[in-house]
Amino acid sequence: MISGKRKKPESDYLAYGANGQPFETSYWKEIYGTGVDVDASFNAREHAKYIKSLMDLMQIPVHSLADFGFGKAILLKETVKAFDPGRIFAIDPSEEMIDSIAGQKWIRGYNLSFLHSTIQDLDPKYFVGAPFDLGICNSVVQYIDKRELKGIFRKLHSIVRYLYFTVPTKNDYERMKKEIYFTDPYAHARSKSTYEKLVRPYFRRVAFNLLESRIVENSQFSDEFFTDP
């Protein structure tokens, strides 16, 4: 039961983890807990400051922001505060998180729209005009089934110019299990090369956690040594 509501049938949920469970109350309790040890939650402000300083350094303006799988919206909130964008769009497959962000006071001061959706179901035709200057896809794609994963980056690269992107690999999960006893039964553990093959046709890796869409011309990240081919 969630907040006194009748439990929904499983067919009503938009997304499921590798263990077949939906991304609702159990997931947020098991994986996030208090959020004390979750990267980009307890240190969300530092992540946002890093993105802001990097974009400022490269003289790349950010007037619009999209978050694909905002979860508890902690990183989204700090990134919005850092950039103060004029246009903000965010999606999440969890109805619980949609209800949560709708009740957060900080969103009232911004032009923010949010949608209950997965990246897979998001229709690019929904977006009109210029792509978003910056997107966030933080620790999301490891939960997407392999059959649906291929088209994700093709879709995202047409929607955003830059993407703040993180994904744990199989080796990362093995390291986390050994070092901090962390396991994530909802996630698919995939190799680094698997993600590289999916990303490379659509994005260039230009900095730590930052991808540049191949739609960007005359990139500010022009130094050959640090630019993904």
- Residue 91 predicted with pLDDT over 60: yes
- Supply the pLDDT for residue 38: 86
Residue 49 amino acid letter: K
DSSP track, 28-86: IIIIITTSTT-TTTTTHHHHHHHHHHHHHHTT----EEEEES-TTSHHHHHHHHHH--S
Residues 167-177 pLDDT 10s? 999 999 999 99
Q: How many residues does the chain have?
A: 229
pTM above 0.85, yes or no: yes
Residues 1-26 pLDDT 10s? 223 333 454 446 788 999 999 988 89
Angstrom distance (rounded) from CA 177 to CA 157: 32
Residues 132-146 pLDDT 10s? 999 999 999 999 999
Residues 37-76 pLDDT 10s? 789 999 999 999 999 999 999 999 999 999 999 999 999 9
Residue 51 amino acid letter: I
CATH superfamily of 17-214: Vaccinia Virus protein VP39 (3.40.50.150)
Q: 5 CB contacts (<8 Å, ≥6 apart)? A: none
